[in-house]
Amino acid sequence: MKPESPILLFDSGVGGLSILPAVREALPGAPLIYAADFAGLPYGGKTEAEIAARVCGLLGRLSERYQPRLICIACNTASTIALSMVRDVLETPIVGTVPAIKPAAKLTRTGTFGILGTEATIRQAYVDDLEREHAGGKTMLRHAAPDLVMLAEAKLRDEHISVDAVANACTGLSLQQGGRDIDVVVLACTHFPLLRGELQEAFGKDVTLIDGAQGIARRIAALSDGQKFASGRPDRMVMTGGATLPKPLVETLKTYGLDQIDRI
């Protein structure tokens, strides 16, 4: 393993940026590449077959080009659908992103918690399995909130978004039978923590919002234990799609330490 071999974070857009700071904190010397599939955004409305084919193909190309020491699929939708397939295809260690159902079940005081995700994520058998394994005796309510993905993308482009728009995207969760008892909400899309302030205001201070960023960072650190790191070049973003990124987003990326943007 070359010391300059990067850790690759992959998402459909900017959602994986909610994980990047936790990874940097856990592994401050590790070189990073953030890969954004803007050409395929959003994933949540696509079929399982479309997502699996796209993710496997892109990660194969990225792995060949950048020779990462580890790949993190920083996308719940892609992870719940394509994680096992990518692991079958690539020899590189792969860390997935899955809904934080286990800690939510432990944290709830009312016995009822919610999960917000994309349509594709919340319908997966993988999520059913997590519920059976970790939420026995608890009530888990699911809601697809695809509008939050594009609201998060807009926020990082410095576009105005309102709390009302965020709240409207989530209303279906609390309107379900038993929804008023929810005291913990799992943010089961990496885009959603980018709206934490707006979501907290929408749900109220008595509802705890949780995501998996810290756990993912710990897993990446554990798999990288004992490895040597050397940054051969600045961390950067690589992206699909031909459109020029708006200047506010470019400036936002710089605050995450991603000063260079390449296209693949």
Q: Is residue 254 part of a domain?
A: yes
Would you say the C-alpha torsion 216, 222, 225, 227 has a positive or negative sign? Answer: negative
Q: Is residue 2 part of a domain?
A: no
Q: Is residue 1 part of a domain?
A: no
Task: Render pLDDT for 176-234 as a digit per residue (tens, 0 to 9).
Answer: 999 999 999 999 999 999 999 999 999 999 999 999 999 999 999 999 999 999 977 78
Residue 233: both structure tokens together: 């070049």
State the residue range of the domain holding 129: 101-211
Task: Render pLDDT for 128-176 as a digit per residue (tens, 0 to 9).
Answer: 999 999 999 999 999 999 999 999 999 999 999 999 999 999 999 999 9
Q: Please tell me the total count of domains within the chain.
A: 2
Active-site residue, from 56, 72, 170, 189: 189
- The CATH number linked to 149 is 3.40.50.1860
Answer yes or no: 75 catalytic.
Answer: yes
pTM: predicted TM-score of the whole model, two decimal places: 0.95
